[in-house]
Amino acid sequence: MSNLQNKNVLITGASTGIGRAIAVRFARDGANVGINYPDSPTAAQETADLAKAARAGSVGKELLLKADVSKEDEVEAMFQSFIASFGRIDILINNAGIQKDTPSHEVAMADFDHILGINLRGAFLCARAALRLFLKQGGGGVILNDSSVHQIIPKPEFIGYSVSKGGMGNLTRTLALEYAGRGIRVNAVGPGAVITPINKAWTNDPEAVKKVSNHIPLGRPAQPEEIASVFAFLASDDASYITGQTIFACGGLTLYPEFRENWSS
Residues 6+ apart with CB under 8 A from 258: none
Instruction: Report how far residue 13's alpha carbon sits from residue 39's, in angstroms, rounded to the nearest whole number.
Output: 10
Sign of CA dihedral 167, 38, 189, 197: negative
Instruction: Report how far residue 75's alpha carbon sits from residue 16's, in angstroms, rounded to the nearest whole number.
Output: 19
Active centre residues (catalytic): 161
Alpha carbon 152 to chain centroid distance? 16
Where do runs of H (alpha helix) occur along the chain?
17-28, 41-54, 72-86, 109-116, 122-137, 159-179, 200-203, 206-214, 224-235
3-class SS at 251? coil
Instruction: Report how far residue 140's alpha carbon sits from residue 136's, in angstroms, rounded to the nearest whole number.
Output: 10
Query: Residue 181 — left, alpha, or beta (φ > 0 → left; ψ -120 to 50 → alpha)?
Result: alpha
Q: What is the dihedral of CA 134, 140, 146, 150, to 10 degrees?
A: 110
